[in-house]
A and B are shown apart, each in its own frame.
Chain A
Amino acid sequence: MAIVSTAEFKGGLKIMMDNDPCTILSNEFVKPGKGQAFNRVKLRNLKTGRVLEKTFKSGDTVETADVVDVEMQYLYNDGEHWHFMQPQSFEQYGAEPAAVADAKQWLKEQDICIVTLWNGNPIAVTPPNFVELTITETDPGVRGDTSGGGGKPATLETGAVVRVPLFIQTAEVIKVDTRTGEYVSRVK
């Protein structure tokens, strides 16, 4: 792997930190007028999603991480692994539960996701920003209510539970923003 110095640190660069791949969120050059220069770096651990801050001496070097984001189609879950396919090469990857994490509640077969590969292994899955899913269960709506109000919980085909307006019924298809987990609209 390549070696990079703090001078090349910038948002989005993937580096190795304590044996885990991390992405740099921000890099601040800190130097007292009469003192040593540091770089205060904010990183996200790509395996755990945790954000950490670490200080480097300016000029220190680290290894880059072989991390790429690839668009893949979600195929199926065999009970142990979630399987994805690269549409161009038809190459398939099995992701561990830890890599799929919170994304799994939005994964519908055939949908295109972003799979993050580290040394060729899936370590994270990002679902599409918007997904369209069928409601499998929700309480019947109250007559006369057209939108507004508090809403009610609805269970989706993937198992996710979102709040929907009262007029939405079981078996309808809705659009959900996966970044916030919020209902967007009804899909006709």
Chain B
Amino acid sequence: MLAAVRRFFDQRGVLEVETPVLSRTGATDPHLVSFTTRLHQPGSHGAALPLLLQTSPEFAMKRLLAAGSGCIYQICKAFRDEEQGRLHNPEFTLLEWYRVGFGLTDLIAETDELVRSLCAPALPLAAPEVFAYRDLFRQRLGIDPVEAGIETLVQCAVTQGLPEAEELCGNNKPLWLDFCFSHRIQPELGRGRLSFVRDFPAVLPSLARHKPDCPELVERVEVYLAGVELANGFHELQDAAEQDRRFEADLQRRRLAGMDVPPKDGRLLAALDAGLPDCAGIALGLDRLLMLRQGARDLTEVLAFPVDRA
């Protein structure tokens, strides 16, 4: 599978890159927990610089893009603490790529082509479906995820047989949307084909730009196969000031939740300030794709040594 990925991008003139796994800064997203380690200068007994293991190579790759790398891809390990289960291993393999000049629609087409070629012939996939996030909620749950207030969501959860949602989600709108989506929409997606879900409400966290004609939505896409989330991509945000505001909002949420507050990535902000080319990028979980291609149910079936045996 790795060789096929490299052939695919080689044929398209996309450059393979490597960026550091260790970084001074980390994800600010309040739903991600980074592993921390320490750097000691030779002979510096005690004095140490905390370094984080990347949760994705996104920031480093954007610095390369801003420096003029052109289209790039990377196959790397990413690390997320407090995530383990049938579909999660704390250390996993990401394929992340960026295409200069692409919008979301081009990115969807390329992702589909790549995944179908990687799955064939073991798991032949039909032509993909593309849904707007908003339409899925309207069709499947009968509510508008942008307009719906908490009361509407509570009603919807009761109708859907999920009465515990009210206590779980409270007044947290993003949590409500995640809850409804993961319980009642996601399991039905990606039957024998890829399902792409695009144009997410701006209240959900992302590094995507706003949709030009519709500021309450962002240009983000999620990819599902057999009910499993495979990839997440953006038409990338270029505005350094907006990025800085989102960092601050994330950090504020982390403070309120009593979580670690990592330093903001000043180098990424500087790179955006210097100018990120118009581009779209996406990160795809290769372990999950391999699992689905092999007809396995649990990641541990396709990992040489899952974390419990590492």
Interface residues of A, Cβ cutoff 8 Å to B: 28-38, 40, 54-58
Question: Which of A28, A33, A57, A58 has the most chain B CB atoms closer than 10 A to its own CB?
Answer: A33
B168 pairs with A55, CB closer than 8 A = yes
Roughly how many angstroms separate A58 CA and B165 CA in the complex, as a whole number?
A: 14
The distance from the CB of B145 to the nearest CB of chain A, in whole angstroms, is 13
The distance from the CB of A45 to the nearest CB of chain B, in whole angstroms, is 15
B174 pairs with A35, CB closer than 8 A = yes
Known contacts A29-B84, A55-B168; A34 and B182 CB within 8 A of each other: no
Roughly how many angstroms separate A57 CA and B31 CA in the complex, as a whole number?
A: 12
B164 pairs with A36, CB closer than 8 A = no
A-B contact pairs, 23 of them (CB 8 A): A29-B85, A29-B87, A31-B83, A32-B178, A34-B31, A34-B205, A34-B206, A35-B31, A35-B174, A35-B175, A35-B204, A35-B205, A36-B179, A38-B168, A38-B179, A38-B182, A40-B183, A55-B162, A55-B165, A55-B168, A55-B183, A56-B168, A57-B168
Closest to B27 in A: A34
The distance from the CB of B231 to the nearest CB of chain A, in whole angstroms, is 9
Roughly how many angstroms separate A58 CA and B81 CA in the complex, as a whole number?
A: 13
B229 within 8 A of A: yes
Known contacts A29-B88, A57-B168; A37 and B175 CB within 8 A of each other: no
Chain B residues positioned under 8 Å from A32 (CB to CB): 31, 178, 181-182, 229
Closest to A33 in B: B232
Known: A33-B283, A55-B165, A55-B179. 7 other contacts (CB 8 A): A31-B88, A33-B232, A34-B31, A35-B204, A35-B205, A38-B168, A38-B179
A36 pairs with B29, CB closer than 8 A = no
Chain A residues positioned under 8 Å from B83 (CB to CB): 29, 31, 37
Chain B residues positioned under 8 Å from A38 (CB to CB): 168, 179, 182
The distance from the CB of B194 to the nearest CB of chain A, in whole angstroms, is 16
Chain A residues positioned under 8 Å from B82 (CB to CB): 37, 58
A54 pairs with B232, CB closer than 8 A = no
Roughly how many angstroms separate A37 CA and B179 CA in the complex, as a whole number?
A: 9
A-B residue pairs, 6 tightest by C-beta: A29-B85, A35-B178, A33-B232, A34-B205, A36-B175, A36-B178
The distance from the CB of A123 to the nearest CB of chain B, in whole angstroms, is 24
Roughly how many angstroms separate A35 CA and B278 CA in the complex, as a whole number?
A: 26
B86 within 8 A of A: yes
Chain B residues positioned under 8 Å from A58 (CB to CB): 82
The distance from the CB of B237 to the nearest CB of chain A, in whole angstroms, is 14
Chain B residues positioned under 8 Å from A33 (CB to CB): 222, 229, 232, 283
Roughly how many angstroms separate A56 CA and B179 CA in the complex, as a whole number?
A: 11
Query: Contact check: which of B164, B181, B205, B222 meets A55 at CB < 8 Å?
Result: B164
For chain B, residues 177 to 200, give those with C-beta under 8 angstroms from any C-beta of chain A. 178-179, 181-183
Chain A residues positioned under 8 Å from B229 (CB to CB): 32-33
Chain B residues positioned under 8 Å from A28 (CB to CB): 85-86
Chain B residues positioned under 8 Å from A55 (CB to CB): 162, 164-165, 168, 179, 183
Known contacts A55-B165, A55-B183; A34 and B85 CB within 8 A of each other: no
Chain B residues positioned under 8 Å from A40 (CB to CB): 183
Chain A residues positioned under 8 Å from B85 (CB to CB): 28-31
Known contacts A34-B232, A36-B31; A29 and B86 CB within 8 A of each other: yes
Roughly how many angstroms separate A56 CA and B229 CA in the complex, as a whole number?
A: 20
Known contacts A31-B88, A34-B206; A54 and B164 CB within 8 A of each other: yes
